[in-house]
Amino acid sequence: MLSSVTSPQELDERFRTVLGELATSDRERRRDPDEPVRDGTRLTGAQASRLFDAQLTSRHLDLAARWLRGFGEGYYTIGSAGHEGNAAVAAALRPTDPALLHYRSGGFYAARAAQVPGADAARDVLRGLVGSASEPIAGGRHKVFGNAELEVIPTTSTIASHLPRAIGVAFAIERARRLGAEPPWPSDAVAICSFGDASVNHASAAAALNTAGWCEHVGIRLPVLFVCEDNGLGVSVRSPRGWVAATLKSRPGLRYLAADGCDLPEAYDAATDAVAWVRRQRRPAILHLSTVRLMGHAGADAEMAYRVPTELARDLDRDPLVATARLLIQAGIATPAEILARYDEVGWQIRKTAEEVLDEPKLAGAAQVVAPLAPRRPARVAQAVADAAASATDGATPGRAAAFAGRLPEDLGPLTLAQAINATLTDALVTWPQALVFGEDVAAKGGVYGVTKGLRDRFGAGRIFDTLLDETSILGLALGAGLGGLLPVPEIQYLAYLHNAEDQLRGEAASLSFFSSGAYRNPLVVRIAGLAYQEGFGGHFHNDNAVAVLRDIPGLVLACPARPDDAAAMLRTCLAAAMIDGSVCAVLEPIALYHTRDLHADGDGQWAARYPAPSDWAARHVPIGRARVDVIGSGEDLTIVTFGNGVRMSLRAAASLAAQGIGSRVVDLRWLSPLPVADIVREAAATGRVLIVDETRRSGGVGEGVVAALVDRGYVGAALRVASVDSFVPLGPAAAFVLVGEDSIIEGASALLAG
């Protein structure tokens, strides 16, 4: 019957019917449980029995999910039915091998839990299905396969965005100990990530597989096993026959193995070979498992609309539960009656557990929901900065003088923004041996704008290195490295280049603490060269002023230093916050200000600043979410709120206004997320007139957030925005037509004062 593929009840009945048709006489010979369960395999009867339990657990969890959903108590029905052979992959691994799992890897999760005393896979998953606050990883925030005690790192993606992170995890396993860091996994661990066949077409998967091959080609060891669970469908879209195998086989530098994922011994042998090879060689491999998808994509999926009866029947004939039951019966390990009894026992236990978790508390209120999102401990962050300063001052941190070749930056006179960032990175690399700086052109060239110049010579290629040209892979490497005990400082060459990889920050980095209840953190400081006003160079791709996509990521810290002294302090704060709180930080560096020295007139040197000696770091610490205020003249007439390039333009405009007897307060936001709301409101109230100078855009720009903050806090004075036009930035002089300029700032101030 067609309905049997979409009805949990009929799938259950079919298993019982087929089992009833299997007779004990079907066995070939009674085998010792410690012997191979059939000729030509390494899987023993005892192992097959244990894995069958994992398969049963996974199947009954799928049935329970549909049952719970049937009366409105379950919130997730994407199941693993037909994929239960992935339990064999867990059996080939160790419970200390970090795993990032596909949403159909229920058999794997159950088998992994069985390897760890006290773990309860069924209760874990059921708690996720009903949104219980006691669920061990997401705490009711999502249904995921994850558990820190099982080294299962939660993935919330329904595609392949966790694959780049897996590359970083494998990288950290190999690199961390060489740098003196202590990763949470054994030195011979293997990273494993599973995904569906349709995902091979996704950009994130292509990036990860390409990066693995690239690393293999250049001699970087990556102990990572990719497991493709191929059921031939992406919801309703078929993977063309032979396409997935051809795609995976063609990947250079990756060893390819394939097996029937519905045949437990074959899957186990292939997985064992793959894992042993990766563990021994420390090189990447792909295991391609052929599976089937039973009961459709999810509970609401009407498969009959896009699949023909013969295809459905063919998949049912490959049901891995039936295959393993037949295997155990033929080997004399169990009788049909014993199999059925075990099937019913597992089903009863899962139904009983489901009823128990229904009464568990759910998340209660917004405060509880967001608690693990982005913890902030500013006092501890400030103390970390002070500790680093004390270490550098008393000589406890060796090598500072050597790192600067005896020319300490605090002794060199005023530095530019780029020079201050370079000096801060140098100090960070001395202070934190686990810190890494990497990206396109950052090592040999020293960055497109020279910001990382000399770092590789000072610290070596193990800590400062060039990557392949792919932002998704750069960020994915950083995500895994952070999990592995390192402090990654990746560089994105231009803001416009970030947008094709932004999901690695939104869907992976910023969400990890949230969806793991803080069990996993993603310490990360990504440096992004951006914003506009480059003279003689540019166009949109090098003058991108779109930051709304970053400000929209919950929990992400977005810093935008305009001046050299702020850049040093803010970058140091971000690094300390990453270390202490696991913060995900993005530092947006205004390219046009990298090498600027002057403020009002050529040669005045007022934009350059002295680099603070370590003894001054604590006193000049800049907490996250605190603005900087410059008072020009009396400071009584006008408050200008701005950031980035707007700071320099506003200070120049304020000087012109001061010559007319108009006093201004120029507020440099410095932090675009979270905004320094208290400082904004205080400085706005001081004059009652606020001019918001936003170099991004009128729609989706930073200024909208400033206005909203003023309204929310009851500001009743006058306010006006001067913003760039809602446009991409054109090439050459035409950019002046769409960007904020000093003249428009003065015009806006005059209009505000006249009102």
Catalytic residues, by residue number, are 542
- What string of DSSP letters covers 729-752? PPSGGGGGGTS--HHHHHHHHHHH
Give residue 469's Cα distance to chain centre: 19
Q: In sequence order, which residues have a C-beta less than 8 Å from that of residue 442 and are 6 or more positions away?
A: 452, 455, 464, 465, 466, 491
Partnered with residue 415 across adjacent β-strands are 609
426 Cβ contact partners less than 8 Å away, ≥ 6 residues apart = 403, 404, 409, 455, 458
Instruction: Return d(Cα 543, Cα 380) in angstroms, integer.
Output: 36
Question: Long-range contact list for 172-175, CB < 8 A, 24+ apart?
Answer: 172/480, 172/481, 172/483, 172/484, 172/485, 172/486, 173/98, 173/223, 173/484, 174/220, 174/221, 174/222, 174/223, 174/282, 175/436, 175/462, 175/481, 175/484, 175/486
Check: CB of residue 38 under 8 Å from CB of residue 327.
Answer: yes
Provide DSSP, 156-172: --SSSTTHHHHHHHHHH
Sign of CA dihedral 442, 444, 447, 451: positive
Is residue 432 within 8 Å of residue 579, measured between CB atoms? yes
Burial group, residue 448, by CB count within 10 angstroms (0-12, 13-18, 19+) = middle
Q: Bridge-partner residues for 692, per DSSP?
A: 641, 721
Q: Look at the block and give the residue holding tokens 């997320």.
A: 673
- Residue position matching structure tokens 């103390």: 383
